[in-house]
């Protein structure tokens, strides 16, 4: 049991309710522990907490455009790494034609997010179709390959040395956000059996970031059946029903989709914007305390950012206050938009993420200046 020093108090001019009914002319900043799950204090400032004029040094918000990467191979082991630490690795990959080999990740569970494209995934458990917006969870050790029917762009998130699980949904119950019955699993149909040939196949296995090749005189995806509760699963963001409140802006943790050791994966889906006059309409200013934050922008207009388009990513390391861009904050105050159309994937990592060297070529260097006070 965590015995936090906890005695809620109020000092000076504040709102009594977080994220609503701010004192006139003030800007709220949340300072908290353990992401959005621990003790927190809300401070009310005269100026926007992101109103800096200069920001030098390695600790700063960064943005990357994955659309600028080229020269893709036909294996996930050719994917380009953007961020990583000991608990997770975030990579990007494009594939135009069917893989001619199988792969197996023995370093951890793999989560695929399909940014664009469609096709078939073949694995130990059968055949699974995929389309844009799909999440596919591949348990550690699964053999698999992709056969695109359309050019496919993916984000891959490795849960290094751990497993993906569903979040505890607490008071709202296990069927909120999405019912576990919505998780699709592969089928062993005629198409799966048709690929069980007696021709040579190779499995490329990744273990401790080193590759080994195992050759077979047949296709090792030759299972006749399976039973159990460890299996590849798929869910699309279109099947997610986000939690909403018309009177209170919910924190990103309310949109958690998967959890693993040391990080969580959240999905931001289209939803109505808060309609209560006193409620905050955009994400609140908050310190990045305890967690590094990464967001991949999949579809739509991200309502708290300017000059961000699909395929871009942002990275806000722990150690400074961040929040909506000035134009987005001003637009939120007018309640000009009644609903969001954004789709984005967020990874909140408990331990520091390192930017891979190959990400330098696709960085938007001026991103830090997009918060500058005018």
Burial class (CB in 10 A: 0-12, 13-18, 19+), 81: middle
Name the residues annotated as catalytic: 249
Burial of 365: CB neighbours in 10 Å, binned 0-12, 13-18, 19+: exposed
Handedness of CA 232, 236, 241, 242 (dihedral sign): positive
Per DSSP (E only), the strands in 139-209 are 143-160, 201-207
Contacts of 7 (CB under 8 A, 6+ apart): none
Indicate the SS3 state at residue 118. Answer: strand
* Binding-site positions: 286, 292, 322
Please enumerate, by residue number, every residue annotated as part of a binding site for homogentisate: 322
User: Burial level of 315, CB count in 10 A (0-12/13-18/19+)?
Assistant: buried
d(CA 45, CA 274): 23
First and final C-alpha spacing in the chain? 47
User: Which residue ranges are tagged as binding site for Fe cation?
Assistant: 286, 292, 322
Sign of CA dihedral 326, 90, 150, 266: negative
Q: Answer for the pair 151, 116: CB distance below 8 angstroms, yes or no.
A: yes
CA distance 113 to 134: 6
Task: Return d(Cα 281, Cα 18) in angstroms, integer.
Answer: 13
Query: What is the spatial distance between Cα 304 and Cα 120, in angstroms, rounded to a whole number?
Result: 35
Greatest CA separation for the chain: 76
DSSP state of 76: G
Cα separation, 178 vs 304, whole angstroms: 25
């Amino acid at each position: 049991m965590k015995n936090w020093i906890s005695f809620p108090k109020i000092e000076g001019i504040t709102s009594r309710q977080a994220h609503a009914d701010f004192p006139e002319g003030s800007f709220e900043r949340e300072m908290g522990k353990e992401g959005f799950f621990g003790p927190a204090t809300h401070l009310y400032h005269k100026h926007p907490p992101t109103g800096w004029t200069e920001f030098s040094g390695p600790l700063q918000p960064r943005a990357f455009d994955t659309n600028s990467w080229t020269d893709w191979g036909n294996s996930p082991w050719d994917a380009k790494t953007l961020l990583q630490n000991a608990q997770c690795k975030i990579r990007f990959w494009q594939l135009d034609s069917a893989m001619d080999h199988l792969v197996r990740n023995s370093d951890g569970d793999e989560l695929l997010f399909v940014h664009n494209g469609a096709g078939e995934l073949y694995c130990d458990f059968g055949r699974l179709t995929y389309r844009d917006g799909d999440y596919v969870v591949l348990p550690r050790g699964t053999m698999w390959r992709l056969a695109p029917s359309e050019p496919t762009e993916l984000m891959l998130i490795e849960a290094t040395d751990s497993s993906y699980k569903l979040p505890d949904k607490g008071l709202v119950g296990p069927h909120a956000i999405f019912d576990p019955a919505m998780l699709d699993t592969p089928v062993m149909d005629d198409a799966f059996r048709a690929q069980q040939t007696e021709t040579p196949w190779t499995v490329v296995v990744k273990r401790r970031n080193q590759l080994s090749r195992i050759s077979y005189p047949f296709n090792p995806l030759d299972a006749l059946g399976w039973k159990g509760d460890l299996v590849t699963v798929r869910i699309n963001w279109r099947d997610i029903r986000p939690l909403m409140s018309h009177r209170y802006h919910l924190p990103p943790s309310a949109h958690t989709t998967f959890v693993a050791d040391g990080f969580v994966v959240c999905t931001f889906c289209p939803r109505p914007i808060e309609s209560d006059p006193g409620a905050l309409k955009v994400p609140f200013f908050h310190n990045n305390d305890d967690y590094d934050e990464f967001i991949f922008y999949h579809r739509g207009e991200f309502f708290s950012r300017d000059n961000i388009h699909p395929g871009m990513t942002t990275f806000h390391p722990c150690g400074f206050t961040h929040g909506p861009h000035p134009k987005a904050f001003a637009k939120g105050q007018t309640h000009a938009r009644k609903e969001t159309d954004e789709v984005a994937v967020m990874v909140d990592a408990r331990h520091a993420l390192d930017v891979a060297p190959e990400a330098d070529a696709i960085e938007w260097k001026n991103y830090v200046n997009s918060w500058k006070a005018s």
